[in-house]
Structure 1
Amino acid sequence: MTSLANQRFQTVDSLAEPLSIQHLSFRVRDADYALPIELVREIIEYAQVTAVPMMPAFIHGVINLRGNVVPVLDLAARFGFELTRAGNRTCIVIIELALSDSTQAIGLVVDAVDAVLDIDPQQVVQPPPFGAGIRTDFIAGMARNEQGFTIILDIAQVLSLDDIAQLSLAVTNGL
Structure 2
Amino acid sequence: MVMSGRREESALGLQGHPETEWLLPTEALSRFRLPDGTSFDQTRQPQRQVRYGFQVGSLNLLIKPRAASEVIAMVPVAAIPNSAPWLLGMINLRSNLVPVFDLAMICALERRHAGRGQWILVLDKGESAVAVLIDAQPVALSRLTPLAHLPSMPTALRSAVAGGFQVEQDVWFEFDHQAFFLSLKDSMANAAR
Q: Shorter-chain-normalised TM-score: which range?
A: 0.5 to 0.7
One-letter code aligned to 2:180:
V
Q: Match for residue 131 of structure 1?
A: 152
Partner of 1:53: 81
Identify the match of residue 116 of structure 2 among 62, 70, 86: 86
Aligned to 2:134: 110
Distance 1:76 1:106, change over 3 A: same
User: 1:54: Cα distance to partner?
Assistant: 3.0
Q: Do 1:27 and 1:111's aligned partners in 2 also have CA atoms closer than 8 Å?
A: yes
Map of 1:96 onto structure 2: 124
Amino acid at match of 1:4: L
Aligned to 1:154: 176
Deviation string, structure 1 residues 152-173 (Cα, Å, up to 9, x no partner): 2122332125628x8xxxxxxx
Partner of 2:164: 142
CA RMSD of aligned residues (A): 3.3
Partner of 2:63, secondary structure, is strand
Query: More strand by proportion, 1 or 2?
Result: 1
Q: C-alpha separation between the residues in 1 aligned to 2:97 and 2:56?
A: 24
- Give the length in aligned residue pairs: 146
Matched residue SS, 2:179: helix
Percentage of matched positions with identical amino acids? 23
The corresponding residue for 1:14 is: none
CA contact (8 A) 2:64 2:176 kept: no
SS at 1:113's partner residue?
Answer: coil
> Hey, which bits of structure 1, 4+ residues long, moved more than 4 A?
18-21
TM-score (norm 1): 0.66
Q: Which 5+ residue runs of structure 1 have no aligned equivalent?
A: 8-17, 167-175
Q: What runs of 5+ residues in structure 2 fail to find an aligned partner?
A: 1-25, 33-45, 189-193
Q: Look up the SS of the partner of 1:55 in the other structure.
A: coil
Amino acid at match of 1:42: E
Determine the C-alpha separation between the residues in 2 that align with 1:2 and 1:116: 45
In the aligned structure 2, how far is the partner of 1:6 from the partner of 1:109? 57
**8 Å CA contact 1:119, 1:143 repeated in 2:** no
Aligned partners of 2:57 and 2:110 also within 8 Å: no
Alpha-carbon distance in structure 2 between the residues aligned to 1:136 and 1:69:
28
2:64–2:177 CA contact under 8 A, matched in 1? no
Shift of 1:86: 2.7
Cα distance change on mapping 1:82 and 1:53 into 2, 3 Å: farther
In structure 1, how many angstroms separate the alpha carbons of the residues matched to 2:106 and 2:149?
18
Give the conservation status (yes or no) of the 8 Å contact 1:127–1:136: no
